[in-house]
Amino acid sequence: MAEEKILLPYNFTGNDQKALNFVIRTFAPRKKEVEIILFNAFTQPPQIETTRSTVMQKLQSNINFVQQKIKEQEKDLKAAKEILIQSGFPEANIRIVFRPRSKDIASEIVDLAAGEGSTVIVLNRKPGRVSRFFIGSTFIKVVLGAADRTVCVAS
């Protein structure tokens, strides 16, 4: 049984690599005692009924593009898992949770941490004024919502 359960929300940015590196550096000495959950909640594209209308066909092509991006993100999450495995973490101790989003991302993170019994949440922060405005809200919600867990910030 893992002594630490680490939840690592993954957003497919360069900052995620910093968070991944933080987990590797910090928990590598105890890698066999650690369980890692790589997490991403994506926005599910809508299901539409296509007709012969060119507008609907264009909309369907846009939805197909979004679905392709989701598949690419899933592959990227698996690549992050491979990095952890190559760093010595046992494959059996690394899980991927990749699912459609049903609420705001902060609530998704807090609820998953509670449901999985995560003891540590590793977040990253994006630099920049505009992104800080939006990310700060998610960051603060996670920190406040995960009051009984350790929250690490890789920046």
Domain hosting residue 154, numbered range: 105-137+149-155
79 assigned to some structural domain: no
Determine how β-strand 34-42 pairs with β-strand 4-9: parallel
94 assigned to some structural domain: no
112 assigned to some structural domain: yes
As a residue count, the chain comes to: 155
User: How many domains does the chain divide into?
Assistant: 1
What's the pLDDT tens digit per position in 21-30?
999 999 988 8
Confidence label for 88 from pLDDT (cuts 50, 70 and 90): very high
120 assigned to some structural domain: yes
Record the pTM.
Answer: 0.85
The reported pLDDT for the residue numbered 140 is 83
129 assigned to some structural domain: yes
Report the distance separating Cα 18 and Cα 120, nearest Å: 16
3 assigned to some structural domain: no
111 assigned to some structural domain: yes
What's the pLDDT tens digit per position in 46-84?
776 666 666 666 777 778 888 899 999 999 999 999 999
40, with CB counted inside 10 A (0-12, 13-18, 19+), is buried
| Contact between residue 39 and residue 113 where contact means Cβ atoms under 8 Å apart | no
- What is the DSSP secondary-structure string of 49-71? ---S-HHHHHHHHHHHHHHHHHH
Residue 18 one-letter amino acid: K
Helical pair 14-27 and 54-86, crossing angle rounded to 10 deg: 20
39 assigned to some structural domain: no
